[in-house]
Amino acid sequence: MDLYLREINKNDKDEILSMISEINNSTDYEKFEGLSNIKKVDNDNFDDFLIELENNKNMKLYKPHLVDQSTFVLVDNNNHIYGGTNIRHELNDNLLRHGGNIGYLIRPSERGNGYATLMLKLTLEKCKELDIHKVLITCREENIASAKVIESNGGIYESSLYIEEKNATYRRYWINIK
Ligand SMILES: CC(C)(COP(=O)(O)OP(=O)(O)OC[C@H]1O[C@@H](n2cnc3c(N)ncnc32)[C@H](O)[C@@H]1OP(=O)(O)O)[C@@H](O)C(=O)NCCC(=O)NCCS
């Protein structure tokens, strides 16, 4: 089945809520790492979430201390959502330390099937469309799966940095997008 990235729309409510429920029921150490903006979505605020996603594309107008962000979900032709990715269009001091340009998450029931590796590849294509040609991607030192996803997509390891507020060490990788 063909999978592709697209923006979230009003018909995605049930799929997004079921993905959130899976994540909340998972044993992940930081449940929404990579896609933290879906954490607060519930049955009553989905329409507000869609407005927020639209506004986030011009985040700097609304929240000057943050950067513009685009969110996409990985879907099949039946509109089943496998996971999602956030693209930060530029880096601020915080993102430069950890967080980087791209965050991603695959819903627990779909992990281990290569979807994150595919989703990052498709996300890099979106970056190119957005005129972003060099990206920083970071992952926790213990997140072996995420490190493999980055390395499989050409990530060049630069350094590891201990982030006090997270009490975690992050591996930092760069990818040049041709
Ligand atoms: C990290 C995450 C995105 C990986 O998603 P996924 O779809 O399972 O990843 P893939 O199937 O593409 O697997 C990538 C590689 O990791 C390996 N892998 C998958 N799960 C693993 C695990 N639990 N431990 C070790 N390796 C693992 C796979 O075998 C594969 O290795 P390969 O490239 O050598 O074949 C997913 O586990 C997730 O959403 N975690 C929670 C959020 C998160 O950590 N996001 C990343 C923030 S930096």
For residue 142 and ligand 1, the question of a CB distance below 6 A is answered with no
Residue 33 and residue 23 in contact, taking contact as beta carbons nearer than 8 Å:
no
Q: Which fold has domain 4-176?
A: Aminopeptidase (3.40.630)
Average pLDDT for 33-49 = 96
Mutate to test the pocket of ligand 1, among 87, 110, 111 (most ligand atoms within 8 A of CB): 111
Instruction: Give the pLDDT band of residue 29 (cuts 50, 70, 90).
Output: confident
Q: How far apart are CA 53 and CA 136, in angstroms?
A: 22
Q: Is 155 in the pocket of ligand 1 (CB under 6 A)?
A: no
Question: Residue 61 Cα, ligand 1 centroid: separation in angstroms?
Answer: 35
3-state secondary structure of 19: helix
Span 89-118, mean pLDDT? 97
Report d(CA 12, CA 110) in Å as an integer.
17
